Structure 1
């Protein structure tokens, strides 16, 4: 099985244990009040307009004729993993245990659970390491993401892709929420916006992300993904709770 999407499967990440599993908790993150009213620089028009290409991603994500659905999902999911990993690496030196003591996005905090279901208290960089290591293990597993001719995808493949997309979304959202200033200073916000649009429209095309999961970034999604991913107004904006959905503190 050869890659049929933009990019191919490949580079390894740091080795950590962990599984693609998330559960909700009722405790407040660090006992601190979330910065709900903090100004979101990434929503400023001068920055949301920035892209590295003007291609219409809404058309690009559609399943091509003669391409197997699972193959299309596998190729694109692997490519998104590599790009999100690369995008995070550009600001990883700023995402430290001291600066990001929790994996937070707006009023939401994400927790990691190990293979035994035990809650792991970790910083944002540790959480991202768990995500990248677990996804790397999956996309290089021939029993899950087969690359050899004649190998079949497992019956659980779509659900695994959904879990991967959920975790990649967490990483992208954290970059916007906690590290957009650094991304801006590096002049990589156009790359980040382009990646976010492509990823969200692909996930939306194949129902890979629960709207409740992505509600925390609905305001950004509305701005970036309206107009088929070209940054226009109206039309294909995000569905769901919108910016108002961010007014309630929660943990996952």
Structure 2
């Protein structure tokens, strides 16, 4: 898929806010999780389970949980508030089955994502539930497609709707879901790191088990903070 770096502004003409605006990176929020153990143990393929069965089961669960998490803020994600599907300096476009590129609002994009995922995970030919039924050859590529789209939804939740998530006191659920999802897709190489790099600063904090309270304050600026010039362009996906 193409990466285009055309516009230097967001769809509404404003430049992306500077790095310090990432409220979701503040320690008071990142320390809030629903569980406090190593998520890696949750995602490793159990010895007696078929890989495709494991991918199918986890992908379906993540689809349901991310759909549920989005539904908690969906009333705030409208065509007016989110005129494009954005996350940090990236605008996501929807590509239909014929590869036609469509610019749509965030709620339209999420609706496309959830409808496609629902269609795939409930299709017996793709996600078979009956014993002895084979998975199709295209199974892994479809799982990768679902996971890539679900990542876009998670990134948009953090970037556009973190304040509402905090207001609903659901940031612990979002953090835990995000960390579990990232550890899972990394374990099975399901999403290209080029796709997830826009959230690497958060991933590094959340995907390690929560540290014990530290006596030294955390540095205020992440070491990997983009240079000012990189904040002023918008990547189109």
> Normalising by structure 1, what TM-score?
0.83
Instruction: Say which of 131, 136, 140 aligns to 2:122.
Output: 140
- In structure 2, the partner of 1:112 is 94
The SS at the match of 1:191 is helix
Instruction: Say which of 191, 197, 203 aligns to 1:221.
Output: 203
Do structure 1's residue 250 and structure 2's residue 223 form an aligned pair? no
The SS at the match of 1:90 is helix
Larger displacement relative to structure 2 (52-61 or 123-132): 52-61
Give the number of aligned pairs.
221
Instruction: Say which of 14, 21, 29 aligns to 1:47.
Output: 29
> Superposition RMSD on alpha carbons, in Å?
1.9
Matches within 5 A, 1:18-37: 23-28=2-7, 29-30=10-11, 32-37=13-18
CA distance in 1, matches of 2:186, 2:136: 22
Q: Which structure 1 residue ranges, 5 or more long, are not aligned? A: 1-21, 234-240
The answer to whether the Cα contact below 8 Å between 1:216 and 1:243 also exists between their aligned partners in 2 is: no
Larger displacement relative to structure 2 (136-145 or 113-122): 113-122
Post-superposition Cα deviations, 1:196-237, rounded to whole Å, max 9, x if no partner, equal 0100001111111111100110111111112xxx2239xxxx
Q: Answer 1 or 2: which has greater helix percent.
A: 2
Instruction: Say which of 104, 112, 119 aligns to 1:122.
Output: 104
Structure 1 residue 34 displacement after superposition = 3.6
Structure 1 residue 27 displacement after superposition = 3.8
Structure 1 residue ranges (4+ consecutive) displaced by more than 2 angstroms after TM superposition: 22-34, 241-249
Post-superposition Cα deviations, 1:94-148, rounded to whole Å, max 9, x if no partner, equal 0000000000001000000112222222100000000000010000011110001
- In structure 2, the partner of 1:231 is 210
Larger displacement relative to structure 2 (28-37 or 136-145): 28-37
Q: Which structure 2 residue ranges, 5 or more long, are not aligned? A: 213-222
Instruction: Say which of 134, 158, 182 aligns to 1:152.
Output: 134
Do structure 1's residue 209 and structure 2's residue 194 form an aligned pair? no
The answer to whether the Cα contact below 8 Å between 2:85 and 2:105 also exists between their aligned partners in 1 is: yes
Which structure ranks higher in relative contact order (CA pairs < 8 Å, sequence separation ≥ 6)?
Answer: 2
